[in-house]
Amino acid sequence: MQSNKLKAHAAVLSANFFFGAAVSAVKHLSPAVMAPFAINGIRVLTALPLFWLLYAFKPGRSGIDKSDIIRFIGCALSGVVVNQLFFIKGVSLTSPIHASLLALTTPVMITILAVWILHEKLTLNKTFGLLLGISGAVVLILSKDLSGTASNQLLGDTFIIVNAIAYSFYLVWVRPLMLRYSPVHVIRWVFTFGTVMMMPFCWQPMMATDWSAFNNTHYFALAFAALGATFFAYLFNVYGIAILGSSVVGAYIYTQPVFATVVAMILMGEQLSIAKLLAAALIFAGVYLVNKKPVSDRLGVVEE
């Protein structure tokens, strides 16, 4: 039992490394040699058949109840389509450190949705935490990036925040499905609906990709984004949820900016600044306060 828990912790930590490091991988690809939406297309078309292949090795329930179709579509729209399209596009426009820090607004948005949808009590800690988190995001957006990796920082930061809002809705909506179906089953169908909805945005950019412009590092970055940060990351998080529970897995999201920052500084020449450190401190403090009495057990947490 203890061995399984250690494996689960290692799996979830690995998943968040994939998510954090993928920011630099995407930045290396887009807009240099590949359109952002083309990356999204490759990601879902790589992960979807692999998720269904898992069913061949471990058959189980294959269908979904008619009453759950609308919820699955809503989860696919928020958790795959809007989430991934805005994230990849945002990363291509802003800097890796900005993207990874602003992604931490997801727990803040979950708290807002918990108060709004679940009528959870808004305590003083949560109110102060929300103000700190929002203040950190504002500081980050208003700070000028000096690393030269952001082509349109304001628009990119805005897209990352839209991504965080969409993912927050996904976390709220997916929780009832996680109680009725296995996690792998949910992800498989969410990706199925999501891929169908995403292809109209991604097909043309994929077809327009000039593969002759790719070198070995570009292929590695794309494989990392499609396999590491999509298929394996989702799979590792599912395994972690089964062994450790959603609240523990959700807490690991705070390691993503650390991984993203280290990788970005080594590979992308990203620079830390006083503004970025201040924003990080405000966001982390805000996230800590709003989650002092976690709502994640009621909402569920499954990573992007």
* pLDDT band per the 50, 70, 90 thresholds, residue 302: very low
State the Cα–Cα distance between residues 32 and 213, nearest whole angstrom: 9
Q: Name 73's Cβ contacts closer than 8 Å, sequence gap at least 6.
A: 193
Q: Residue 96, SS3?
A: helix
Q: What's the pLDDT at 267?
A: 83
Rounded CA gap, 232 and 154, in Å?
31
DSSP 211: G
Residue 197 has pLDDT above 90, yes or no: yes
Residue with tokens 């297309």: 41
CB of 165 closer than 8 Å to CB of 103: no
pLDDT the model gives residue 261: 80
Residue at token pair 């996690």: 183
pLDDT digits (tens, 9 = 90+) for 50-85: 999 987 787 667 789 999 999 999 999 998 999 899
Given a cut of 70, whether residue 301 has pLDDT beyond it is: no
Write the pLDDT tens digit of every residue in 133-143. 778 777 766 66
* CA–CA gap between residue 275 and residue 225 (Å, rounded): 29
- Cα–Cα dist 27/221, whole Å: 9
Instruction: Tell me the whole-structure pTM to 2 decimals.
Output: 0.79
pLDDT of residue 287: 67
- With beta carbons less than 8 A apart as the criterion, state whether 120 and 295 touch: yes
Q: Is the peptide bond before 31 cis (omega within 30 degrees of 0)?
A: yes
What per-residue confidence (pLDDT) applies to 297? 47
CA dihedral 112, 118, 123, 128 (to 10 degrees): -10
**Looking at residues 244-248, what average pLDDT do you find?**
65
Please state, rounded to an integer, the average pLDDT across all residues of the chain.
82
Q: Is the pLDDT of residue 118 over 80?
A: no
Domain boundary assignment for the chain: 2-299
Distance CA 261, CA 99 (A): 10
Secondary structure, 3-state, the chain = CHHHHHHHHHHHHHHHHHHHHHHHHHHHHCCCCCCHHHHHHHHHHHHHHHHHHHHHHCCCCCCCCHHHHHHHHHHHHHHHHHHHHHHHHHHHHCCHHHHHHHCCHHHHHHHHHHHHHCCCCCCHHHHHHHHHHHHHHHHHHHCCCCCCCCCCHHHHHHHHHHHHHHHHHHHHHHHHHHHHCCHHHHHHHHHHHHHHHHHHHHHHHHHCCCHHHCCHHHHHHHHHHHHHHHHHHHHHHHHHHHHHCHHHHHHHHHHHHHHHHHHHHHHHCCCCCHHHHHHHHHHHHHHHHHCCCCCHHHHCCCCC
pLDDT of res. 296: 47
Amino acid at 163: N
Nearest to 263 by CA among 224, 290, 232, 205: 224
Q: pLDDT per residue over 82-112, tens digit each?
A: 989 999 999 888 888 778 777 777 767 777 7
- Quote the tokens at residue 245: 């529970």
User: Percent of the chain scored above 70 by pLDDT?
Assistant: 85
Among residues 42, 43, 46, 35, which one has the least CA distance to residue 89?
Answer: 35
Mean pLDDT of 158-171: 85
